[in-house]
Amino acid sequence: MSGSGAYEVLIDGQPMRCVDAVDRGFQYGDGTFTTITIREGVPLFWPLHLARLERDCRQLLIPFPGVEHLEPDVRTLCAAHPDGVLKIQITRGIGGRGYRLPEPQRVTRVLSIHPPPDYPSELREIGIEVRLCENRLGINPRLAGIKHMNRLEQILARAEWTDDAIREGIMLDTEGYVVEGTMSNLFLIKNGTLYTPKIDRCGVAGVMRSITIETALQHGMAVAESRITLEELFAADEVFLTNCVIETWPVRRFGHRTYGVGPITQEIDRWLRTKAENEQVAAFNG
Amino acid sequence: MSGSGAYEVLIDGQPMRCVDAVDRGFQYGDGTFTTITIREGVPLFWPLHLARLERDCRQLLIPFPGVEHLEPDVRTLCAAHPDGVLKIQITRGIGGRGYRLPEPQRVTRVLSIHPPPDYPSELREIGIEVRLCENRLGINPRLAGIKHMNRLEQILARAEWTDDAIREGIMLDTEGYVVEGTMSNLFLIKNGTLYTPKIDRCGVAGVMRSITIETALQHGMAVAESRITLEELFAADEVFLTNCVIETWPVRRFGHRTYGVGPITQEIDRWLRTKAENEQVAAFNG
């Protein structure tokens, strides 16, 4: 995703890869982003990604560049590269004395489209193996939920292993509660109820996380956002991970605990596949 | 400092301002930096900045580019702009799948030299007024001390005020202990002892902070690094702030508490001025 293998990059609508070294995105990670699957030219769940960018910009006091600037860029890239992963970054741009905000702020928008990831497609059926990360997430409610460009905690966690058989690492907060994967949100099923960690103190409120919660509720499942301990995670009946690129990955194994791929996870996965397909149909009819 | 007013930028030794949009410094704030005063062509406390860059790179698992690459860049910029502020950034460069580290890592080094800040010079004598920030520092011992490029906490804290009469904001950690200013380290004096917050859970271990501690010890002062409460800060006899650009700013006033500019602060300030002057003499003789 951050590799040199980007198909194409647009900066403020222009095809180029050159960010000014004094852009605050590069100076301080002063920006936010979202990652979107492009399938047959359609940016899946585009209105939700747009809403998340707008919400995260508001939380970071960054002026939202507006759909009228973003949509033409997205259309250009999706037409040229109909299957891939689109990353949209919005930074606070250039200026300001030190950390102080520029006045006025002129944001930078960077859209980069990348090849689809090379994950084996069967992972979605057979599930994955995950590990527990030693690196933890610091607690800061002011930044919780935001997909901001300060990602060193995730990078150091992801650096803990190189074994390709392990697809993801589970991160705890500094108090020891389960929060998420390094690049995914976490769900567990216990006695028929769907649980996911509250994202009110740290972690990313992923778009696929909110789609999963909404879908489960629409199908009549009980859903709870709560503090989850490691003991509760081990005691779960089923566990799965979500993000907008993988959609769902069942967790087959976590350390010494084997869950297999559970029936409720499979059912939720079917609902989410249908939802994504409907996105494409709606786009073609719209 | 991050403004468009950089005199000049060198990227990997070349005069340019263009960072690749997929550089991990821009994608994730995946890098570290240091900020150095250049006075009459001399980078003050250069060996300490070099040591901090090397230590912070090691903590972040970034290969240190080596003094043989950094020093020629520094010499070039100091010769062209003998009075200013030099910022050195080292990022993990391009590559890797998502958060995963590239293999091998090829770091990017960005040196930018900026005009000296426009702070009134008398602040060092008359002291400054500071405020308490509502934004707090998340606790993460793994990242504590490192001057990394994830700086949203400081930016949101600095966004809390625009009144130019207030020069700095004091930040607490999420447990309520005093840590530092948004861009400076904090010291207080109580009954003749110099106290400064421990930087073992959050905060930046500034170069001027370590110079101040060392200098005070050399002059026979008692020094303690400890957890400091807001009550202890209010009860202090004297308070001052440090960084490598301001060196020292006495805190004249903090909210409703007036400290004035205390005699021990003034003495420490004299020691630090002498130390900086000796740096210049040493450079000219070396």
Q: Best residue in B1, B2, B34, B59 to probe A by mutation, most A CBs within 10 Å? A: B2
**Closest chain A residue to B22, measured at CA:** A2
Question: For strand A14-15 and strand B31-39, is the pairing parallel, antiparallel, or unpaired?
Answer: unpaired
Tell me how close the Cα of A59 comes to any Cα of chain B, in angstroms: 10
Is B174 an active-site residue? no
B14–A contact, CB cutoff 8 A: no
Q: Which of B34, B37, B87, B180 is catalytic?
A: B180
Q: Mind giving me the DSSP string for A125-148?
A: HH-EEEEE-SS-BPP-TTTTB--B
How sure is the predictor about A72, in pLDDT bands with cuts at 50, 70 and 90?
A: very high
Q: How many CB pairs under 8 A join A and B?
A: 213
**Closest chain A residue to B19, measured at CA:** A19
Task: Supply the pLDDT for residue A2.
Answer: 46
B19–A contact, CB cutoff 8 A: yes
A9–B contact, CB cutoff 8 A: yes
**Residues 24-43 of chain B whose Cβ lies under 8 A from any Cβ of chain A:** 24-30
**Closest chain A residue to B146, measured at CA:** A152
- Name which of A27, A94, A99 is nearest B158 (Cβ-Cβ): A99
What are A220-242's pLDDT values in tens digits?
A: 999 999 999 999 999 999 999 99
CATH annotation of A123-278: 3.20.10.10
Tell me how close the Cα of A139 comes to any Cα of chain B, in angstroms: 5
Which amino acid, one-letter code, is at A159?
Answer: A
Is B8 an active-site residue? no
Average of pLDDT values for B247-263?
Answer: 97
A140–B contact, CB cutoff 8 A: yes
How sure is the predictor about A102, in pLDDT bands with cuts at 50, 70 and 90?
A: very high
Tell me how close the Cα of B248 comes to any Cα of chain A, in angstroms: 17
pLDDT > 90? residue B43: yes
**Residues 231-270 of chain B whose Cβ lies under 8 A from any Cβ of chain A:** none
Task: Supply the pLDDT for residue B285.
Answer: 62
Task: Supply the pLDDT for residue B286.
Answer: 53
What are A75-91's pLDDT values in tens digits?
A: 999 999 999 999 999 99
Tell me how close the Cα of B194 comes to any Cα of chain A, in angstroms: 28
Task: Supply the pLDDT for residue A5.
Answer: 78
Q: Which of B32, B34, B35, B242 is catalytic?
A: B35
What are B49-108's pLDDT values in tens digits?
A: 999 999 999 999 999 999 999 999 999 999 999 999 999 999 999 988 899 999 999 999
A21 and B29 within 8 Å at the Cβ level: the answer is no
- Name which of A99, A112, A158 is nearest B154 (Cβ-Cβ): A99
Task: Supply the pLDDT for residue B279.
Answer: 87
Whole-Å CA distances, B224 to A182, A234, B176, B231, B265: 37, 43, 19, 17, 16
B60–A contact, CB cutoff 8 A: yes
Q: Where are the alpha helices (DSSP H) in chain B?
A: 24-28, 46-59, 67-80, 123-126, 152-158, 207-218, 230-234, 263-285
Task: Supply the pLDDT for residue A36.
Answer: 98
In percent, the amount of chain A with pLDDT more than 90 equals 93
ipTM for the predicted complex: 0.96
Which residue, among B143, B156, B118, B98, has the nearest Cα to A92 in the 3D structure?
B156
Q: Mean pLDDT for chain A?
A: 96
CATH of B8-114, one of 3.30.1360.70, 3.40.50.2300, 3.30.470.10, 3.40.50.1970: 3.30.470.10
A155 and B19 within 8 Å at the Cβ level: the answer is no
Average of pLDDT values for A46-71?
Answer: 97
Task: Supply the pLDDT for residue A283.
Answer: 74
How sure is the predictor about B2, in pLDDT bands with cuts at 50, 70 and 90?
A: very low
Is A56:A49 a contact under the CB 8 Å cutoff? Answer: no
Average of pLDDT values for A99-110?
Answer: 96
pLDDT > 70? residue A4: no
Task: Supply the pLDDT for residue A285.
Answer: 63
Would you list the domain boundaries of chain A? 8-114, 123-278
Q: Distance between CA A34 and CA A112 in Å, rounded? A: 11
Tell me how close the Cα of B198 comes to any Cα of chain A, in angstroms: 17
**Residues 162-201 of chain B whose Cβ lies under 8 A from any Cβ of chain A:** 162, 174, 182-183
Is A168:A206 a contact under the CB 8 Å cutoff? Answer: no
B4–A contact, CB cutoff 8 A: yes
